[in-house]
Amino acid sequence: MKARHDSICVFEFGASKELVLRLKDDVDLVQSITEIAKTKGVKAGTFTAIGALKRAKLGYYDQRSHEYRETTIEAAMELASCTGNVSLKGGEPFVHAHAVLSDEKGNTRAGHLLEGSVFAAEVHLTQLEGPALERKYDKATELMLWVPE
C-alpha cells in the first residue's frame, strides 16, 4: 500500500518546553500525565516513559467491530517502553499512550495503555507550540482522531 500525500494530515509545531517527571508509587501513569498536562497548560505534546508498573490495563482496538478489547495484567512488570502524545479532546488535554511491558523472563505484553499503576516511572514530556491539535470523531475508524481546522 502506498502513502498518498493527501492521505496524511500534517501539523507543524515547535518544541517549547521539556518536562522531566518522576512519578511516585501507586499513582496512575495515564492520569498523572493528564494532570501534569492540565497543570502546565500542555495542549499538544509527546512523551516517553520508562520504569515499572504494579498492574496495567491494556487495550486492543478491534478494527472490524470498532471496539476496544481490554486485558488487565495483575503482575509486576517492567515498563520497558512507553510512548504517547497529548492533544485536546473536548477542549481538555487528553493522553494517548502505548506501552510495552516485560515480565521477569523478558516476555512482553503490549498495547494501548488504559491504566498503569506505577511502582516507579520516569517521564519525559515535550510541550509543542503550534495549532490546536483537537481530537474529533472519525467516521471511518469510529475513533477520536486529529482533524485539521
Name which position in 40, 55, 109, 112 contacts Zn ion (CB under 5 A).
112
Q: Rounded CA gap, 105 and 39, in Å?
A: 38
> Which range, of 49-57, 71-79, 105-113, 127-135, touches Zn ion by CB under 5 A?
105-113
Q: What angle do CA 36, 14, 88 make, to 5 degrees?
A: 45
Between residues 18 and 70, which has the closer beta carbon with respect to Zn ion? 70
**Whole-number minimum distance, CB 105 to Zn ion, in Å?**
26
How many chain residues touch Zn ion (CB under 5 A)? 1
- Can you read off the three cell numbers belonging to residue 35? 494532570
Q: Rounded CA gap, 41 and 44, in Å?
A: 9
Question: Under the criterion CB under 5 A, does residue 54 sit at the interface with Zn ion?
Answer: no
**Which of 68, 137, 67, 80 is closest to 108 using CA atoms?**
80
Q: What residue ranges bind Zn ion (CB under 5 A)?
A: 112
